[in-house]
Amino acid sequence: MSEARIPYALDPQGRRVDIYRAEHKLNYYTCIACGSFLDPRQGEVNIWYFAHVKLDPTSEECPLRTKEGLENLLQRFRISPVEESELKKQIRLVISPNPYIKTAKLYGILPVLRWENFADPTEVNDVLNSLIFHGIGIKSSLPARIFHPSEPEAKVELDPNADKYELTISTKYSKYESLDLIGNWKAKHISVNDVFSGESNRAERRGINTRVRTGDTLFIVLEEDFLMEIEGCENIVLGPWKILKFEVDDNHRELVNRFIGINADTDNFYVDIILPPPATPNSESPISGKPESEALIAVTPPQQKDPEFEIVSVPLGEENKILDRKGNGVPRIFCPRFPSEGSRRLSVHWGNEHRVINLHAENRMKSLYKPWMGDVELGLELITDGKITKFNPWSVEGAILIESEKVIENRINLNLIGPEELKIDVKGTFSEESEYRGIVHKWDTTLEEAESILDSWIKEDCNHIMLDYDSLGRIELDIQQPKPWQKKLSDREIERRLKNLDEIPKKARWSVVREVYGVPWGTSRDEVPDGAKKQVRRALMKLRRGNEG
């Protein structure tokens, strides 16, 4: 019988190493189970693996010599760090920066109740009503609804000044005490040199020897502002702490290496969410999609590697899938389905690393419509030429088209209505020409703050805005920005453009107006701002008088 192929070993520092990241060294790597030496088998044809040194008597009884023993070990490694933290009742800490005022908020992430734990879905409300919370380091009282199974995760705002974080969740009824959510959840307090990595708008605290990828955003906790002037670095404030923010790239390698416990290399893999379109490509945030629709996800290995990736469920179950090898650096595609309700968490697993994907069935409340919802004053109020139209997040279908010029001219007014204590998330997608470029998030904003953000973003070349009301649904706005030639030019700018022509024209013909405004041929005159021809005529007269003088 052939010997089982071992994909992992320990290096001399006791760190687990995948065969595709191992150096070809003999008597260097040791077996995780028996401690004897393993040799890396890294040929040009066969799949790479570790093997026990031949005729080594210390490894004769090693369980990894059998396929059964090896499978038991691999099953342990399939458990993602997210699941490990939840099994240990650990709160995951996340930083969410505000890009406008250079501050950040600290959140704790906990799991929510799961639909599969309830034979009768109506029992969910009984559980939520029975929950009792006692917290240390928690900023405000917790509404039980954040743990509803229709939510992708529970996000709790934490006090960055706290010495520790604890949240004890108990229930009034003994029959619910076996639920995973019940218990004492904890997290270590914030400390100097803590490292958070992830996206520019959401980053999670990482442990020692965490790998970070090119393109990740790092947040380093410091006591004082980072004083070195390095392009791309930014100081932000988190309570009493100073946070250094920068992106992992070639310009910041020395900074990355300066902070102990972080390894930055190019020997890493990427998980990109291609569909649904609104998803941030390499996001660790929950991804919303239509119930039972397919997501499209690409897993790209390192340039010179062709490892075997495994898709495992979180928590670990029987939903395991192997992504076939395609060649060094060649992406592998898979299409998981969104659940019919709630969330489905998967992890792309290779070696020591997991990339967790949280697929969240959006707008579940639409399928649970209640008569009272029609009477609730909550959502967006759109006033166009005196006509008022109201949109609720659970009933609006598709994106609402908004012409930015009409907002600027106050011909369209946007008002957000709802309870004062309501908070929503706002997400904007900006054009490459905009100052912001790409996707910008604002988390937990009051309606007053969100209304101000709406007005500002619409005037700043934002193309798409999403107002996220959690389980109540969302409202999306498609912003129709004017084309360059539809924006009215100043008299001074028109004069400058006329001077730049090969020859100053004698008359303000429409062909001259088109050239000054950069209007493509075939475009209707109606798209040129009102009064443009008169402006050009005045500018020509002024230029001629200047030349005659």
Beta strands in 111-194 (DSSP E): 131-136, 154-158, 164-171, 183-188
Question: What band does 485 get if pLDDT is binned at 50, 70 and 90?
Answer: low
Structure tokens at 141: 């009282």
Strands 210-212, 321-323: parallel, antiparallel or unpaired by DSSP?
unpaired
Which pair of tokens denotes residue 22? Answer: 């191992």
CA 185, CA 393: separation in Å to the nearest integer? 33
Task: Tell me the pLDDT band of 148, cut-offs 50, 70 and 90.
Answer: very high
Q: Tell me the backbone φ, ψ of residue 441, rounded to 5 degrees.
A: -110, 145
Q: Which positions ≥6 away from 221 have C-beta within 8 Å? A: 190, 191, 192, 193, 194, 195, 196, 238, 241, 242, 243
Q: Residue 538 — very low, low, confident or very high, per pLDDT cuts 50/70/90?
A: confident
Separation of CA 271 from chain center: 12
Highest mean pLDDT among 83-92, 255-264, 391-400: 83-92
- Model-level pTM? 0.65
Residue whose C-alpha is closest to residue 277's, from 295, 299, 291 = 295
Residue 265 confidence (pLDDT) above 60: no
Tokens 């109740």 appear where?
113
Give the list of residues 6+ apart from residue 239 with CB closer than 8 angstroms, or none.
Answer: 106, 159, 160, 161
**116 vs 133, which has greater pLDDT?**
133
Q: Sorting pLDDT into bands at 50, 70 and 90, what band is 369?
A: very low
Instruction: Look at residue 229 in the predicted model and tell me its pLDDT.
Output: 80
Q: How confident is the model at residue 185 (pLDDT cuts 50, 70, 90)?
A: very high
Give the residue among 355, 361, 251 at the shortest CA–CA distance from 297: 355
Query: Could you give the angle at the alpha carbon of 363 between the alpha carbons of 357 and 365, nearest 5°?
Result: 130
Q: What does the pLDDT read at residue 126? A: 92
Q: Calculate the dihedral angle through the C-alpha atoms of 323, 324, 327, 330, rounding to the nearest 10 degrees.
A: -40
Query: Exposed/middle/buried for 185, CB within 10 Å: 0-12, 13-18, 19+?
Result: buried
With a CB cutoff of 8 Å and minimum separation 6, the contacts of 490 are none
Whether the predicted pLDDT of 311 surpasses 90: yes
User: What average pLDDT does this structure show over 284-293?
Assistant: 89
pLDDT over threshold 70, residue 91: yes
Task: Give the residue, 459 or 315, on which the prediction is more confident.
Answer: 315
CA–CA dist 94, 196 (Å, integer): 7
Quote the pLDDT of residue 98.
80
What is the chain's mean pLDDT, rounded?
A: 85
Per-residue pLDDT band at 373 (split at 50, 70, 90): very low
Q: Does 535 score more than 50 pLDDT?
A: yes
Among 57-61, 220-224, 524-528, which is the least confidently predicted range? 524-528
Residue 534 CB partners (closer than 8 Å, separation 6+): none
* Percent share of the chain, pLDDT over 70: 91
Contacting residues for 160 by C-beta, under 8 A, at least 6 apart: 106, 190, 238, 239, 240, 241
Which residue did the predictor score with more confidence, 244 or 378? 244
Report pLDDT digits (tens) over 25-64.
Answer: 888 999 999 999 999 998 876 788 999 888 778 788 899 9
pLDDT confidence tier of residue 368, bands split at 50, 70 and 90: very low
Predicted local distance difference test score (pLDDT) of residue 332: 92
Amino acid residing at 279 = A
Q: Are the CB atoms for 391 and 382 separated by under 8 Å?
A: yes
Give dist(CA 262, CA 245) in Å, integer: 15
Nearest Cα to Cα of residue 364 among 124, 179, 177: 124
Instruction: Report the alpha-carbon distance of residue 535 to residue 87 in Å, rounded.
Output: 70
Assigned token pair, 181: 């959510």
**Cα distances (angstroms) measured from residue 462 to each of 360, 379, 400, 404, 436:** 25, 20, 14, 9, 9
Please give the Cα distance from 287 to 338 (Å, whole number). Answer: 9
pLDDT at 537 over 90: no
The Cβ of residue 269 has, within 10 Å, a number of other Cβ atoms equal to: 21
Instruction: Examine the pLDDT at 365 and tell me if it is beyond 80.
Output: no
Percent of the chain residues topping a pLDDT of 90? 34
- Residues 475 and 393 sit within 8 Å (Cβ to Cβ): yes
The pLDDT of 285-292, averaged and rounded, is: 90
Question: Contact, 380 vs 401, CB < 8 A?
Answer: no
The structure tokens 């010179």 sit at 304
